[in-house]
């Protein structure tokens, strides 16, 4: 069994990685942390934009792994080395010092920023987009990103009032989905709505007090067009000025006695409703092609 090369939390490499827990350092270095085998596996496979598919700069820069994890996930470590990442064997104490989790899984990657310019999102003619307006909880942001990925959305937009995409909790909650679809960050909500509408996308605000019902919209056949859902703050939802920007304000119907749905659950219902309607409206998603 190999011997850990990094055994001191004061090592320069360890110190540099630990500082990425703070947004100021992430922004300065344009690097972030991805923890756990699933996130690291996706980071290894991801590359930045290039002149041809798969030719861009590797996203994973460094990999810290315990000796035990290196043996358990030998395929991931080998792929990281093949992709050009620097691999460091570290003690469990060092990983725990850098990690943002209570029980680290022994793999921690340092990754390059990967957000996409909003103009590129629009140029790709998206058919399903999630817009996070004033979403402050990183766990919720990451979970909505994961829901969008699972529903087959084309992009996610985090407005300038939302949490940092690269917050360790947001990255962890996305369970690797941060590496799967374009994410634009720092876009003012007014600019996001205007740009999407100019690109031919219908903008719907999700709100429990919406005048329209999601079931009724689905039954009426209005959900098959390109759609962007705007999701608001966890505690107070969407302000009136944001609701007024949308083409319609739609509520998820509550058929039982629950007072409301949490943000991630409501987002999943809305995104899957649109995805199902779009598939039914002529197979506009590539996965339906036979």
Q: Which of 63, 96, 112 corresponds to the end of one domain?
A: 112
Q: How many CB atoms neighbour CB 265 within 10 A?
A: 14
Q: Does one domain contain both 104 and 205?
A: no
How do residues 86-129 score in pLDDT, each as one tens digit?
999 988 888 888 887 888 889 999 999 999 999 999 999 999 99
- Nearest 5°: the CA angle 219, 224, 230 is 95
20 close to 82: Cβ distance less than 8 angstroms:
no
The whole-number average pLDDT for the span 143-147 is 97
Q: Under DSSP, is residue 172 helix (H, G, I), strand (E, B) or coil?
A: helix
pLDDT at 76 over 90: yes
Q: Which of 65, 87, 112 corresponds to the end of one domain?
A: 112
Pairing label, strands 155-159, 128-132: parallel
pTM (whole model) above 0.85: yes
Q: Does one domain contain both 158 and 205?
A: yes
Q: Does one domain contain both 163 and 277?
A: yes
Q: Does one domain contain both 229 and 277?
A: yes
The predicted pLDDT at position 260 comes to 86
Q: Which of 80, 112, 144 corresponds to the end of one domain?
A: 112
The predicted pLDDT at position 288 comes to 36
Compare 260 and 70 and report the one with higher pLDDT: 70
Q: Is residue 2 part of a domain?
A: no
The predicted pLDDT at position 284 comes to 44
Q: Is residue 288 part of a domain?
A: no
Instruction: Give how far Cα 250 sits from Cα of 62, 70, 134, 168, Å.
Output: 44, 48, 18, 31
Q: Does one domain contain both 46 and 155?
A: no
Here the CATH number for the domain that contains residue 266 is 3.40.1280.10
How do residues 196-227 score in pLDDT, each as one tens digit?
999 999 999 999 888 899 999 999 998 999 99
Q: Is residue 150 part of a domain?
A: yes
The whole-number average pLDDT for the span 239-253 is 94
Q: Does one domain contain both 62 and 183?
A: no
Distance CA 249, CA 246 (A): 7
The predicted pLDDT at position 49 comes to 72
Q: Residue 71: which domain range?
A: 12-112
Q: How many CB atoms neighbour CB 236 within 10 A?
A: 8
Instruction: Give 249's strand partners.
Output: 205
Q: Is residue 81 part of a domain?
A: yes
Residues above pLDDT 70, as percent of the chain: 91
The predicted pLDDT at position 12 comes to 86
pLDDT at 172 over 80: yes
Q: Is residue 3 part of a domain?
A: no
Q: Is residue 232 part of a domain?
A: yes
Q: Does one domain contain both 21 and 60?
A: yes
Return the residue matching tokens 């957000």. Answer: 115
pLDDT at 152 over 60: yes
How do residues 58-69 score in pLDDT, each as one tens digit?
999 999 999 999
Give me the torsion for CA of 147, 149, 152, 156, rounded to 10°: 90
Q: Does one domain contain both 233 and 102?
A: no
């Amino acid at each position: 069994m190999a011997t850990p090369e990094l055994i001191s939390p004061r090592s320069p490499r360890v110190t540099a990685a630990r500082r990425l827990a703070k947004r100021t350092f992430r922004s300065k270095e344009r690097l972030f942390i991805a923890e756990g085998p699933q996130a690291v596996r996706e980071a290894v496979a991801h590359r930045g934009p290039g002149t041809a598919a798969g030719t861009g700069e590797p996203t994973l820069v460094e990999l810290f792994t315990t000796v035990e994890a290196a043996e358990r996930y030998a395929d991931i470590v080998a792929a990281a080395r093949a992709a050009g990442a620097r691999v460091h064997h570290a003690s469990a104490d060092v990983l725990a010092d850098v990690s943002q989790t209570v029980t680290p899984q022994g793999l921690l990657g340092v990754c390059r920023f990967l957000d996409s310019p909003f103009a590129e999102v629009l140029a790709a003619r998206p058919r399903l987009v999630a817009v996070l307006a004033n979403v402050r909880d990183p766990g919720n942001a990451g979970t909505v990103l994961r829901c969008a990925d699972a529903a087959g959305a084309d992009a996610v937009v985090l407005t300038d009032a939302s949490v940092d995409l690269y917050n360790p909790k947001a990255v962890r909650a996305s369970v690797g989905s941060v590496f799967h679809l374009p994410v634009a960050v720092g876009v003012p909500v007014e600019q996001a709505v205007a740009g999407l509408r100019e690109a031919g996308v219908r903008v719907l605000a999700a709100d429990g007090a919406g005048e329209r019902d999601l079931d009724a919209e689905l039954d009426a056949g209005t959900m098959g067009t390109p759609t962007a859902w705007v999701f608001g703050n966890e505690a107070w939802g969407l302000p009136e000025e944001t609701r007024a920007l949308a083409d319609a304000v739609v509520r998820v119907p509550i058929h039982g006695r629950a007072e409301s749905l949490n943000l991630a659950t409501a987002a999943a219902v809305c995104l899957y409703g649109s995805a199902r309607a779009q598939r039914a409206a002529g197979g506009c998603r590539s996965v339906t092609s036979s």
